[in-house]
Amino acid sequence: MDSMAFSGALMLLGSLLIATPLAAVNAAEKSVYDFSMTTIDGKPIPLSTYKGKVLLVVNVASRCGFTPQYKDLEALYLKYREQGFVILGFPANNFRGQEPGTDAEIKEFCTLNYGVTFPMFSKISVKGSDQHPLYRYLTSDEANPSTSGEVQWNFQKYLVGRDGKVLAKFLSRVKPFSEEVTAAVENALKAK
The domain spanning residue 32 has which CATH number? 3.40.30.10
Whether 21 maps to a domain, the answer reads: no
What's the whole-number mean pLDDT along residues 75-79? 98
Cα–Cα distance, 36 to 25 (Å, whole number): 17
Whether 106 maps to a domain, the answer reads: yes
Q: 86: how many CB neighbours lie within 10 A of its CB?
A: 17
Whether 99 maps to a domain, the answer reads: yes
Whether 9 maps to a domain, the answer reads: no
* Beta partners for residue 88, in sequence order: 57
Backbone conformation region of residue 85, classed left if phi is above 0, alpha if psi is from -120 to 50, else beta: beta
* Beta partners for residue 87, in sequence order: 56
Question: pTM to 2 decimals?
Answer: 0.85
Whether 19 maps to a domain, the answer reads: no
Active site residue 64: yes
Whether 4 maps to a domain, the answer reads: no
Whether 13 maps to a domain, the answer reads: no
Domain that holds residue 112: 26-190
**135-181 per-position pLDDT tens digit:** 999 999 999 999 999 999 999 999 999 999 999 999 999 999 999 99
Q: Are 141 and 46 spatial neighbours (Cβ–Cβ below 8 Å)?
A: no
Cα–Cα distance, 64 to 111 (Å, whole number): 17
Q: Looking at 24, 27, 64, 189, which residue is catalytic?
A: 64
Whether 16 maps to a domain, the answer reads: no
Sign of CA dihedral 153, 159, 165, 168: negative
Q: What DSSP designation does 39 have?
A: B
Number of domains in the chain: 1
**86-145 per-position pLDDT tens digit:** 999 999 999 999 999 999 999 999 999 999 999 999 999 999 999 999 999 999 999 999
